[in-house]
Structure formats: C-alpha cells, structure tokens
Amino acid sequence: MTKGTKAFRIIISVLLALTMIISAFFTFFFCLYFAKDPYGIYVSGIAINRSNNEDVLGDGRVYYDESNNILTFDNATIEYDNTVVYSEIDLHIQLIGENKFICTNEEYAIGVFAGNNHLFKDLAIIGDGSLTIELPNTSDEAVGIAADNLTVATNLTVTTPDCENKVNGIVCTSDLIVASKATVTVNNGAATMYSSAVRVRGNAFLEEGTTLKASTNSDATGICKGLTVSGDLFMGRDTTLDVSVDDSTTDQGECIRVSGLMEIGIGSTVTASAKKASAIECFGTIEANKSATISAVSEKNDADVFCSGSVVNRGAKIDGEIDAIGGLHNRD
C-alpha cells in the first residue's frame, strides 16, 4: 500500500466519522425540538407536546393520545383563572370518572374553547365518565363551551354566572349532537345584553334516549334565550327536552326557537316554559309522533306554541295553546 493510498483512506475514515457525529448531533436536536413542539392543545395554560403528553399536569389525571387525538381526563378537578381547555385543532375529550373544570376569571371566563382565533373547531366529549363545568364568578362575559360541531356522548353539566354583558352556556357554530343516552344540563346565568343557554347555528340532533335540559336565571335584561336552533331540531325516540327561561324583565325572550323543522320522536317529551314569549317557536313544521308529550306554557303570551308552518300531530299529547299559520293536522 502506498503512502498516498493510506493517507486517502485515513481522510475518508475521518470524514465518515465526522459525518456520523454531525448526523447524530442534528438528529438529537431535531428530536429535542419536536419533543417540545406543541400540538395546539392547552390545559390550564400548559401546552401539550411529546415530552408531557403522557402526564400533562404531573398528577396522572390528564394525558393525550396523539395517534387517536384523544385528550383524557381521569377523575380530574381543574381550577384555573383562564380557559381550562383550549384547542386549536379538532379534538376528542374522553372522560373517566367524575371530572370538574372551574374557570375563575372575572373578565372573560371560558370553560372549553375549540377554535383558532375566529375559526371554530370540532369537539367531541365521550367516555363513561362525566364532566361539570363551573364559572362561579360574576364577570363581563362568560362561555361554558364553544365549538364548531359539538358531539356530547357522556353526561355534561354547564353552570355559568350572571354577567355584566353576555353569557352563553353552549355555543355551536355548526351542529350539536347528543348521543349515547347522555344527559346535558345547562344552567345559564343572566346578563344585561345577551343571555343564551344553548345556541346552535346548524342542526341539533338528540339521539335515542338522550336528555337536554336548559334554563336561564331571572333578572336578565336585553335578550334572553333558552335553546336556539338555526337549522332543524331532530329528537329521536324516547328523548327529553326541558327548557325554561325567565324573560319577565327582558326586551326580547325566546324559550325554544327552531328556524327549520322540529321533529319530536316516538315517546319523547318536550317541556317548555317562558314568562312573556311563546314557549315554543318554530318557523318550519312541527311534527309530533306517536306517544310523544308536549307541554308548553307561556304566562303572558296567548300562544304557548307558535308555528309559521303547520303542526302535524301523529298521535302525540299536546298541552298548550297552538297558533299555527299552516294549521293543526291530526294524522294518527
């Protein structure tokens, strides 16, 4: 072997070694960087990433499964002075045991927010457990849950305070689905400008055996709403809808307001009560099916149920005065 060949081999060996060292160096820092790269999900202000996703808060109660996009709360009680859960991406929240979120902010309190600035994201709340969201302090504005499409497949209770300006229990910019025999209860506070327990800009679906209860506190002024659905409201078999508003001091009150079709499934129950407004307002058609029960009470309005279209009764029991422009049609 000549001296030149030997020197060449030494140089090549050194270059290969340097290449391996540099590659390992960059791999290390690449992994370190992405381990700290957040997913766009925050719990109590803590950004979830690959370095903390298995135990977000350090108590074993909150963890995130990246592959299935599931954020799990296991018997967690979380108190925070800002948004408890904030997700910039579509998200599944899984509940194990009894869980509670408490937001103590006194200016703008939010329990769960799914969205990136003004672009809302989808949210699904699932599992065998339950969730209670409390916003205990009087504030300027408050929102229990805000999302685009919202699916609730486990028991959920939202309680909001009286507010100076606006208060919303649940806001969906698209559809609301209540599934898996879940019970959703919204106890909404009063406000001087705008109060709404459940607001759905798309369609609302109450699947078989589910329950939705919504109420607003007294002393609201301005606008006070119970359940507002800008699309259609579909109630499956054996569902329960119970809405009450105290609109006695408001400029405008709504108890149940549906812009499209309101279909009440077989064996389902609708209970609605208001002080001034009609208990049920529907601007499409109301279809009440066999063995359903509707109880609507408005203390000061002549019509407990107002319908711009027709009311089609297919064997339901309806208790309340009906004003239907399209008429009442019995189709047993």
Stretch (H or E) spanning 170 = strand 163-172
In 18-128, DSSP assigns E strands to 41-43, 46-47, 62-65, 70-74, 77-80, 85-87, 91-96, 98-103, 108-116, 119-120, 123-127
Mean pLDDT of 53-64: 97
**Average pLDDT score over the chain:** 91
* pTM summary value: 0.89
How far apart CA 241 and CA 178 sit, in angstroms, is 11
Q: What is the pLDDT at residue 301? A: 85
pLDDT at 17 over 60: no
Tell me the pLDDT band of 37, cut-offs 50, 70 and 90. confident
Q: Which residues of 182-199 are buried (b: 16+ CB within 10 A; e: fewer)?
A: bbbbbbbbbbeebbbbbb
Tell me the pLDDT band of 35, cut-offs 50, 70 and 90. very low
pLDDT at 104 over 60: yes
pLDDT at 305 over 80: yes
pLDDT at 39 over 70: yes
Q: What is the pLDDT at residue 117? A: 77
Mean pLDDT of 158-175: 96
Query: Exposed (0-12), middle (13-18) or buried (19+): which is 24, by Cβ within 10 Å?
Result: exposed
Tell me the pLDDT band of 26, cut-offs 50, 70 and 90. very low
Neighbours of 9 (CB within 10 A): 11
> How far does CA 258 lie from the centroid of its chain?
19
Segment 106-118, tens digit of pLDDT: 899 999 999 997 7
Segment 126-139, tens digit of pLDDT: 999 999 999 998 77
pLDDT at 31 over 80: no
Tell me the pLDDT band of 89, cut-offs 50, 70 and 90. very high
Mean pLDDT of 180-205: 97
Q: What is the pLDDT at residue 15? A: 52
Q: Which of 316, 269, 275 is nearest to 297 (CA)?
A: 275
pLDDT at 22 over 80: no
What tokens appear for 102 in the block? 């408490």
Q: Which residue has the higher pLDDT, 218 or 310?
A: 310
What tokens appear for 35 in the block? 């381990």
Neighbours of 179 (CB within 10 A): 18
pLDDT at 18 over 90: no
- Measured in residues, the chain has a length of 332
What tokens appear for 262 in the block? 């309101």
- Residues 6 or more apart whose CB falls under 8 angstroms from that of 106 comprise 137, 138, 139
How far apart CA 123 and CA 129 sit, in angstroms, is 17
Q: What is the pLDDT at residue 2? A: 58
Ordered by start, the domain boundaries in the chain are 1-35, 40-330
pLDDT at 29 over 80: no
Contact predicate 148/117, CB 8 Å? no
